[in-house]
Structure 1
Amino acid sequence: MQYQALANTDLKVSKIGLGTWAYGDDTFGSVEDKQSIKAIRAAVESGINLIDTAPAYGAGKAEKIVGEAIKDLRDQVIIATKCGTHREGSAYVRDLSPAQIRKELDLSLTRLQVSQIDIYQIHWPDPDTPLEESLAELLKLKKAGKFKYLGVCNFELDLLKKISKLTDIVSLQPQYSLLERKIETKLIPYLLQTKQSTLSYGTLGGGILSGKYDKKPEFKDEKDNRANFYPFFKEENWQKTADLIKELKNIADKYDKTPAQVAINWSINQPGITAALVGAKTEQQARENAAAADFKLTQAELIKLSQKSTAVIKELTQK
Structure 2
Amino acid sequence: MQYREIAGTDLKVSAVGLGTWAYGNDTFGRVDDQKSIQAIKTAVFSGINLIDTAPAYGDGHAEKIVGKAIKGIKDQVIIASKCGTYRDGSKYIRDLSPARIRKDLELSLDRLEVEEIDIYQIHWPDPDTPLEESIEELKKLKNEGKFKYLAVCNFDINLLDKIRELADIISLQPQYSLLKRDIEAKIIPYLIEHQLAAISYGTLGGGILSGKYKKRPDFSSDKENRDSFYPFFKKENWGLVQKLIKVIEEIAAANRKTPAQVAINWAINRAGITTALVGAKNKKQAAENAGAAEFNLSEKEMELLTEKSDQIISKLEL
Normalised TM-score (structure 1) = 0.99
AA aligned to 2:254 is K
Shift of 1:213: 1.2
Deviations 1:166-212 (A, max 9, x none): 11110000000000001000000000000000000000000110011
1:72 paired residue number: 72
C-alpha separation between the residues in 1 aligned to 2:15 and 2:204? 15
C-alpha separation between the residues in 1 aligned to 2:178 and 2:263? 7
| Partner-residue secondary structure (3-state), 2:86 | strand
1:94 paired residue number: 94
AA aligned to 2:142 is K
AA aligned to 1:35 is K
Is the Cα–Cα contact under 8 Å of residues 236 and 317 in structure 2 kept in the other structure? no
2:242 paired residue number: 242
Are 1:31 and 2:16 an aligned pair? no
| Partner-residue secondary structure (3-state), 1:315 | coil
2:140 paired residue number: 140
C-alpha separation between the residues in 2 aligned to 1:317 and 1:91? 24
What pairs with 1:233-312 in structure 2 (closer than 5 Å)?
Answer: 233-312=233-312
Shift of 1:219: 2.0
What pairs with 1:165-244 in structure 2 (closer than 5 Å)?
Answer: 165-244=165-244
| Partner-residue secondary structure (3-state), 1:148 | strand
Deviations 1:69-111 (A, max 9, x none): 0011110000000000000111100000000000010000000
- What is the number of equivalent residue pairs in this alignment? 318
Is the Cα–Cα contact under 8 Å of residues 53 and 63 in structure 1 kept in the other structure? yes
C-alpha separation between the residues in 1 aligned to 2:303 and 2:131? 39
AA aligned to 1:193 is E
C-alpha separation between the residues in 2 aligned to 1:195 and 1:317? 33
C-alpha separation between the residues in 2 aligned to 1:35 and 1:297? 31
Worse-matched range after superposition: 239-248 or 114-123: 239-248
C-alpha separation between the residues in 1 aligned to 2:129 and 2:52? 25
Shift of 1:283: 0.1
| Partner-residue secondary structure (3-state), 1:120 | strand
C-alpha separation between the residues in 2 aligned to 1:269 and 1:237? 26
C-alpha separation between the residues in 2 aligned to 1:225 and 1:73? 33
AA aligned to 1:241 is V
Normalised TM-score (structure 2) = 0.99
Q: Percent identity?
A: 66
C-alpha separation between the residues in 2 aligned to 1:254 and 1:107? 47
Deviations 1:250-286 (A, max 9, x none): 0000111100000000000000000000000000000
Shift of 1:220: 4.1
Is the Cα–Cα contact under 8 Å of residues 30 and 221 in structure 1 kept in the other structure? no
| Partner-residue secondary structure (3-state), 1:126 | coil
Is the Cα–Cα contact under 8 Å of residues 7 and 171 in structure 1 kept in the other structure? no
1:9 paired residue number: 9
Structure 2: state its 5+ residue gaps: none
Worse-matched range after superposition: 222-231 or 62-71: 222-231
C-alpha separation between the residues in 2 aligned to 1:191 and 1:52? 20
AA aligned to 1:217 is P
| Partner-residue secondary structure (3-state), 2:224 | coil
C-alpha separation between the residues in 2 aligned to 1:273 and 1:87? 29
Deviations 1:216-274 (A, max 9, x none): 11124331110110000011111111221001000000111100000000000000000
Structure 1's consecutive aligned runs of 4 or more residues displaced over 6 angstroms after TM superposition are: none
Calculate the aligned-residue CA RMSD, in Å: 0.8
C-alpha separation between the residues in 2 aligned to 1:299 and 1:255? 13
C-alpha separation between the residues in 1 aligned to 2:256 and 2:85? 40
